[in-house]
Amino acid sequence: MIIKENIYYSPAGQDRTLHVYLPDNYDSSEERYPVMYFFDGHNLFCDEDATYGKSWGLKTFLDGWSKHMIVVGIECSHEGFRRLDEYSPYNGRLMGYDIHGTGKETMDWITGTLKPYVDSQLRTYPFRTATGIAGSSMGGLMSLYAVTMYNHIFSKAACVSSAIGFTRRAVMADLQRASLDPDTRVFLSWGEREDFRNYASRDNHEVQNLLREKNVSTQLLRQQGGGHNEADWEKLVPGFMEYLWMS
């Protein structure tokens, strides 16, 4: 089932909607569950909530998957380009917009406020090995940042079509100095149709190499025919969920 709840997002001084998936047996059992956090929560479960009318179809997948878990989708700002600020740990320029990155503040809120709230309200396994994070585009960038700079909290991440290129040097510098547990798992992907001049391929391979130097397990995928959209990201869900949680 999907529940929606507003929560106060202190970095912006506004309420934000959480889109939370609970296994169908949640109310009839006393079971505890691992948790995966996703950025752009409105795009995950229901087409009617999705920005462009197409979701990731994540509810359909989870309903039929053998592993039961809780998914917490965090809705982003829909005001102008504020999503770019909130979903970037770095300053930069993208799509003609000067990004004033507040991604660190976003992650501090997720780890310091949101996760403790979820763990107190729902029957979760709160420890690191039962906690993952995922996102696409700017959410993919944030997921990479989260699993590397907050590795004591997140043990796995799906970084889909990550917006690495505009801030590549800062991303790689953080990766080089990060201290990572070798049990970390990171899924990296990009679409064939968004690989302009092979920049996405270059960036993701460089990220993989740096992670492997730290003995982190990675899976790298160039999605054949893939573009930068929810319909193609939906096709990746079974693969990265199996890799992160079942391998």
pLDDT at 39: 98
pLDDT in tens, 217-240: 999 999 999 999 999 999 999 999
pLDDT of residue 120: 98
- Check pLDDT > 80 for residue 247: no
The whole-number pLDDT of residue 95 equals 85
- pLDDT per residue over 200-218, tens digit each? 999 999 999 999 999 999 9
- Look up the domain containing 134 and give its range: 2-246
Q: Is the pLDDT of residue 165 over 90?
A: yes
Query: What backbone torsions phi and psi does residue 161 show, to the nearest 5 degrees?
Result: 50, 45
Which of the four pLDDT bands, split at 50, 70 and 90, describes residue 61?
A: very high
Closest residue by Cα to residue 18 from 151, 146, 122: 122
Across the range 180-193, mean pLDDT stands at 97
Residue 196, pLDDT score: 86
How much of the chain, in percent, has pLDDT values that exceed 90?
97
pLDDT single digits (tens) 113-132? 999 999 999 999 999 999 99
For residue 242 the two structure tokens come to 């199996």
pTM of the model: 0.97
**Distance from C-alpha of 233 to C-alpha of 211, rounded to nearest angstrom:** 23
Integer Cα distance of 54 and 228 in angstroms: 12
144 pLDDT above the threshold of 90: yes
Domain count across the chain: 1
Residue 57 pLDDT > 90: yes
At 1 the pLDDT is: 94
CA atoms within a 13 Å half-sphere pointing along the CA-CB vector of 152: 5
Q: What is the DSSP letter of 33?
A: B
Residue keyed to tokens 């976003």: 106
Q: CATH no. for residue 237?
A: 3.40.50.1820
Contacts (Cβ under 8 Å, ≥6 apart) of 165? 199, 200, 203
Q: What does the pLDDT look like over 82-107, one tens digit per residue?
A: 999 999 999 999 989 999 999 999 99
Averaged confidence pLDDT in the chain: 97
